Amino acid sequence: MADEEEWSIPDDQQPKPETLEFDLQARLGSILALRSKTPEDGFTAHALGTERGGSGVLVDRSGLILTIGYLVAEAEEIWLFDSHGAAIQGDVIAYDFVTGFGLVQALGRVDAEPASLGSSASVHVGDRVVFASSGGLPHSVDAQVVSKREFAGYWEYVLDEAFFSTPVHPSWGGAGVFDRAGDLIGIGSLFVGDARGHGSPSEGNMIVPIDLAKPLLAQIKGGSSIQRPPRPWLGFYTAEADEHLFVAGLAPDGPAEKAGIQTGDLVLEVGGAPVGGLADMLRTIWSLGEAGVQVPLTVVRNGRAVAVTVLSADRSDFLKTPRMH
């Protein structure tokens, strides 16, 4: 992602304030730039780098910032920058692996009005939304929701329903997505090449729905950490091709590698049950129990069926700082 000074959204793709039902400038003020630094020997450093940048959205007057989790995973240092350029240090509160959200607490006063939370369940295909990263109007896109559907990620991640927008926002990570009333309805997560679904090439962004964040925010505001049983994690990166699931990569020293799973293995069964797509396989694994459960797999290797049992783990045990669920 480019520095804020080096790019801007074309004028014809920016939202037009006069067409909106809210004060766009005030709403954009709730979006902060976020910069994080991760140890070089961190578990996520190889894949995500040690210096990460994106955005976060102020959602509470206490300084609570909602962002996307990969920006803050293992972060030992976080800085937030408001619309006036003021720098505020932050602390990671949580990285929720289930939703993909990250939560940061600003350690100083944020001079902005918090975003109000909308309802992502009320978002419909065809709706116009404002997709905005830090940097104000030049970093905002007048986008359209082009699909709502299940999303499965090779890093052992499933959303029952995400939504997708076009055109692409070039700085999507942690960006705020607002409905026409100015309410926050999601957080930008990914660039995708199939935003419209159905296998049709269409570049856009995947957005994590705000409704998934509401229980997490309620727990944090209630004074507790995020409470949920850790899912079993295998540490293998699986991809779909020609109606097969194959292992495309392995987390170093992760459970799957330790059990003898190999890159190129085709996954046929979990616990004796045939698996369909990626989401089906992951849900079957998670149905076996919490992290630490034995996960029996049947894979095809060199044309032969091979039984491998993987002792699953809690993914957070592999992160350097701090322990998060």
325 occurs within a structural domain: no
Tell me: do 210 and 263 sit in the same domain: no
Report if residue 284 sits inside a domain: yes
% of the chain exceeding 70 in pLDDT: 97
Shared-domain flag, residues 246 and 223: no
- CATH label of the domain that carries residue 310: 2.30.42.10
- Asked whether the predicted pLDDT for residue 5 surpasses 80, the reply is no
Q: In angstroms, rounded to a whole number, what is the distance separating the alpha carbons of residues 54 and 68?
A: 9
pLDDT tens digits, one per residue of 275-299? 989 999 999 999 999 999 999 999 9
Domain end call among 227, 257, 273: 227
> 157 with 277, same domain?
no
Structural domain includes residue 61: yes
Whether residue 189 is found in the same domain as residue 270: no
Residue 302's domain spans which residues? 236-318
pTM to 2 decimals?
0.94
Confidence tier at 321 by pLDDT (50, 70, 90): low
Same domain, 168 and 306: no
Amino acid present at 231: R
Q: Percent of the chain scored above 90 by pLDDT?
A: 88
Pairing status of strand 64-68 against strand 304-311: unpaired
Which of 200, 227, 254 corresponds to the end of one domain? Answer: 227
Give the chain's domain count.
2
> What is the per-residue pLDDT across 174-200, written as a single tens digit (0 to 9) for each?
999 999 999 999 999 999 999 999 878
Q: Across all residues in the chain, what is the average pLDDT?
A: 94
pLDDT at 87: 96
The answer to whether the CB of 216 falls within 8 A of the CB of 226 is yes
